[in-house]
Amino acid sequence: MTPDTVGLLTALADAERIAVLGWFAARSEGSSLTDAANGTGLPIKRLQKVVAPLLGAGLVVRSEDGFRFDPEPLRRASTAALGELPMGRALAEHPRLNSVVHNGMATRLPVQSELKTELARVLASLLPAFDRATEPELNGWLAALTTDVPLMRRLLVDEGLLDRSPDGAEYRRPG
């Protein structure tokens, strides 16, 4: 996590600041601090203290027509956070999987068979190297990649990227 993201989260870690930010976000044009004080019901001195961390985080900016909400720092933080997750990084190389990966986790199977194969290969590539793994071990690894562990585990078997023991207790890589 970057210092900018920490600053952003710190600025948002206060109900009063969130309320004021919401007030600015609800306006399509900039507003004066006096308008914001009147609109939020906060005294101007209190509003100035509340707005300062939002300005510091770049969530409220000064423009020609006053102060306004800027969502760009949130977008940047979201993109950076996604890039820290294994499936998020994989999306950079496999953008066709964007429709089945949400918040850095595979959530469903693609309809198209070639995309299913691509998803299975990406999942398999993100698993640690192993010869044999128990189902709980495999489930633990997959839990970092998907919201539906049984579905993705089955996909890996169906695509021939994992072999399952007859009793279902153990998995291994084919070959």
106-165 pLDDT tens trace: 999 999 999 999 999 999 999 999 999 999 999 999 999 999 999 999 999 999 999 999
Residue 16 predicted with pLDDT over 90: yes
CA dist., res. 104 & res. 50, Å (int): 32
What pLDDT is attached to residue 41? 95
Tell me the domains of the chain and their CATH numbers: 3-71 (1.10.10.10), 85-172 (1.10.10)
pLDDT score recorded for residue 175: 78
| 6 CB-near residues (< 8 Å, 6+ apart) | none
pLDDT at 169: 93
Given this model, what pLDDT does residue 86 score? 92
**Which tokens is 119 given?**
């998803």
The overall average pLDDT reported for the chain is 94
Contacts of 132 (CB under 8 A, 6+ apart): 170, 171, 172
The average pLDDT across 23-43 equals 94
pLDDT tens digit string along 69-95?
A: 999 999 999 888 888 889 988 988 999
Measure the CA–CA gap between 91 and 82, rounded to whole angstroms.
9
pLDDT of residue 28: 87
DSSP helix/strand/coil, 110: coil
Question: pTM of the prediction?
Answer: 0.70
What pLDDT sits at residue 2? 76
Cα–Cα distance, 57 to 6 (Å, whole number): 9
